[in-house]
Structure 1
Amino acid sequence: MGSKLKGVVPLNDRIQIYFRWKGRTLRPTLNLKPTAGNLKHASRLRTQIVNEINDDVFNLEAHFPEYKNAHKYECQGETRRRTLKEWSKLWEEIAGREHEDSTMRIYMRHINAYWLEYFGDLSIPQLTHEKIIRHLAMLSKEHMGQNSLPRQDTLSPT
C-alpha cells in the first residue's frame, strides 16, 4: 500500500474517497477494509464518479444511498436534467415566435423523425458526439439506398 491513490485514503477500518461536486468537497466512506485491492477498487470507483461528474450524469444517491444529507445535493424542480424531447418542445415554443408556421412544421417533422425517435429520452450530456456521428452515418446510408441516382454533371457536353 505504498503507492498513493488520488482522492482515496484509509480511514480506520474503512476507505474514504474525496471528490468535488457542485462546488463542495464530498468525503463518503466505503465499508471496505483498507487493503491494497480495496484501495484500488475505491480509486477506480472515484475515477468513474469524476467522469460522471464531468459528463453531468452523476447521481450521489445511486453511488452512496446512505450518505448523510444526500438529498440536499440532488437537483429539484426545473433544474433537473431535461431530455432532448423536453428541450425540443421548449425550443419549438421559443423559435415559433421567430419563424413561419410552415417552417416550424418542417423543422419539427425533421426533429421528430430523425432525432427524437432515437434520442428523445436522453439528456443532453448523454447525447455524445459519437452517437450523433453514428446516427448521421446511419441516416446517410439509408438515404443512399433510397432511389438515389448518381449526380449528373451539369457541365457535360450535349
Structure 2
Amino acid sequence: MSSKLPVGISIRQNNRTESIQVAFSYRGVQCRETLRLKPNKANIKYAESLRSEIVSKINRGLFKYSEYFPESPKCKLFGEHTRENITVAELLNEYTADLSRTVEPSTELRYRRSIEGQLLPEFGDILATELTPKRIRQWIKSKDCKRKTIANHLIPLVKVLRLAVVDGIIAKSPMDSISLDDVVHKEARRSDYKIDPFTPTEIEILLKAMEGQVHNAYKFAFFTGVRTSELIGLTWNKVDLPRGKVLIDQAKVERQMKGTKTGEKGEREIVLFPPALQALTDQLTYTGEGEYVFHNPRTNQSWDDDQQIRKRAWMPAIKSTRLRYRNPYQTRHTFACLMIARNENLFWIASQMGHQGIEMINRHYGKFIEEAGAQSSYEPNHDWREFC
C-alpha cells in the first residue's frame, strides 16, 4: 500500500499473501505479532486501534499477552499460559506454592504427599482441558486401598480443578461427574477400623507395664478421652488442679501446635476424674517447671507427634503385656465406653470428648449404649400414677 502506515503497524509479505503485523514493547522486549487480516484500510485501522489498546494496558500494568495472542511463543517467555496448554502439573504446583499460607502444617504435609506421590505421577502430564472423568475413574479403580484413602488423595485435585473453573481454564471440573461410591470397589468402602475398648482389667495390666511419665500420660488419656494430639500438646497453663479442670484448646501435629480439631466443639473444659487428677499430680515432679505436661522420658522434651509416642511408648508397653494390640486412639474409645457403662449422661460425655452433640456418640457407640441399657436396672424418675 502506498499510503503511510500508523506507528507500530507494518505489512508482512508472505509467499503469495500479505498480512498485518503489530509491533510494541513489553517488559523490555520488542514484540511483533501477526494478524491474519488482509492489509486493507479497515483492517489497518483495526490494527491501529488494537495496538493503542495494548499499549494503554501495558502502561497501566493490565496487559496479559495470552489474552491477545494466545498462540504466540512469547506467552511462555512472559510466564503466561493459555487454556490450551496448561497441564495438571502446573495447576498442582501453583496450588502447592501457596499451601503454607492457607492450611495448617499437618494438612500441608498430607496434601503434598498426595500431590507428589499420587496425583503428579498419574495426571501431571495431562492438559487440564483434556483431563476427563473417565481418566480419573480409571485411576480410582486401579487403587488397592480404602475409600477414605482415595478420597483424601483426591482432595487437592478437587481444589485445583475448582480453581481452574473459576480462572476460566476449564469449563467444568471432571470431578463433578464422579461419585466415589459408584467407582470404588465395595470391599474398599468398608472400613477396617473397629472400636475395640480396653476392659478395666486390661487398663490395669497395661498401666502397670508403663513407668513414670509414660504411665502418667496414658493414665490421663484413658480417663479423659483426649486425642493423642491433644495429649502431647497439653501445657501446664491449661491445667487447673485445684478446680480439677483442664482446658483443651490446642493440639500438637507434626511438631506444630494448632487449634483443636475443626468442625466439632474443639475448645472445651474437661473434668478430671480421680485417676486423671492423680496422673497430673504425679507428673508435676517431672515437668511442673516446664511448658508441656508430658515429655518423652528419653529426651525430657515434649513429644514430637503422635507417631513418636506410639512407637516409643505405647507399642513397647503393649508388647510387654502380651495384650491384643490396639492403637492409642482406643484410649479415647475406652473412656467413652467406661462412661456409657456407668450410665453417665450422653450429652456430658459428648461435651467432655469435644463433640457438638450426641450424634457422634450414638453413631460410634450405639452398640455399647444398648448393652449398658440392657444391663442396668433403670428406675423411672417420676411416679406417673397420677395418669392412671
Q: TM-score, normalised by structure 2?
A: 0.19
Structure with greater contact order relative to length (CA < 8 Å, sep ≥ 6) = 1
Structure having the higher Rg: 2
